[in-house]
Amino acid sequence: GQQLNQSPQSMFIQEGEDVSMNCTSSSIFNTWLWYKQDPGEGPVLLIALYKAGELTSNGRLTAQFGITRKDSFLNISASIPSDVGIYFCAGFSPYSGAGSYQLTFGKGTKLSVIP
Amino acid sequence: GAGVSQSPSNKVTEKGKDVELRCDPISGHTALYWYRQSLGQGLEFLIYFQGNSAPDKSGLPSDRFSAERTGGSVSTLTIQRTQQEDSAVYLCASSLAPGSSYGYTFGSGTRLTVV
C-alpha cells in the first residue's frame, strides 16, 4: 500500500520556538491533511490541502502541499504548552483503491514543549 | 450525535476471549471507517463501510477480525480469540461521503489490552 514517511519522529522544543515537520511519499497524493492527537483522544483535523503548491494557514499553523504532490510540511509558530501532542500527516492517494476513500497516515511526530 | 462515540473507552481481556467494540458515527455520515493504532505507530486501515455497499475489508489483519454496520449507522468490530498482538487503540471515524475533502471525524477510540 501507499506509505507516508513523516519526520521527525519526536521533537523537544522551548515554549515560543517555531516547529517544522514534514511528510514525503514515493507516490503522488491528491489531498494532504494534518491531524493532531491529544492523549486519550482521536486525531482532530487541523488543516486540509487540496492542490499542489497550496499554502494554507490556521492561526499559528501553516501547511503546504508540495508542488510535486509527493510531500507536505506543517509549521507551528511561537509554540505554546497546549501544542503538545502527536501530529499526523495523512493523504488521499489515487492509488489507494476504489473511490480513493482510504486515508493513508504517517507514523506521527510527537511534540513536547518545555515551558 | 454531535461527535463519533466509541465504547468501551478501555477494555482489558484475557488472551483467547472474544471482544466487541462499538462505534456510533455522526448522524447523517454515510461513510464509516475503523483504524488501528499500535504504540508508536501511525493509523492502520482496517475496514470501510459506505451506505448499503459491500464493505471494504482489505485491511483486516486476519479472519479473527470482523465488523458489521447495522441500519447504516452503528458499527461493531469483533475480534475473536484475542491475541496479545491485538493490543492497540481501535479508532472509528465517519465522514459525510467517501474520500471527503474534509477528512474524517474520529472518535476517542477503544484502548484494548490483551493479557
What pLDDT, in 10s, does the model give residues B22-33?
A: 999 999 898 999
- The reply to whether residue B107 touches residue A98, judged by beta carbons under 8 angstroms, is no
- The reply to whether residue B107 touches residue A101, judged by beta carbons under 8 angstroms, is no
CA distance B47 to B7: 18
Residue of B17, B56, B60, B10 lying closest to B35 (CA atoms): B60
CA distance A29 to A94: 7
CA distance B63 to B50: 21
Largest CA distance in chain A: 46
Q: Number of residue pairs across A and B with CB atoms under 8 Å? A: 63
Please report, in tens digits, the pLDDT of each residue of chain A (115 residues total): 568 999 999 999 999 999 999 999 988 988 899 999 998 899 999 999 999 999 999 999 999 999 999 999 999 999 999 999 999 999 887 765 555 577 889 999 999 998 8
- Any residues with CB less than 8 A from the CB of B71 and at least 6 apart, and which? none
- The reply to whether residue A43 touches residue B45, judged by beta carbons under 8 angstroms, is no
Interface of B with A (CB under 8 A): 4, 31, 33, 35, 40-43, 45, 48, 50, 56, 58, 91, 93, 98-99, 101-109
CA distance A70 to A91: 10
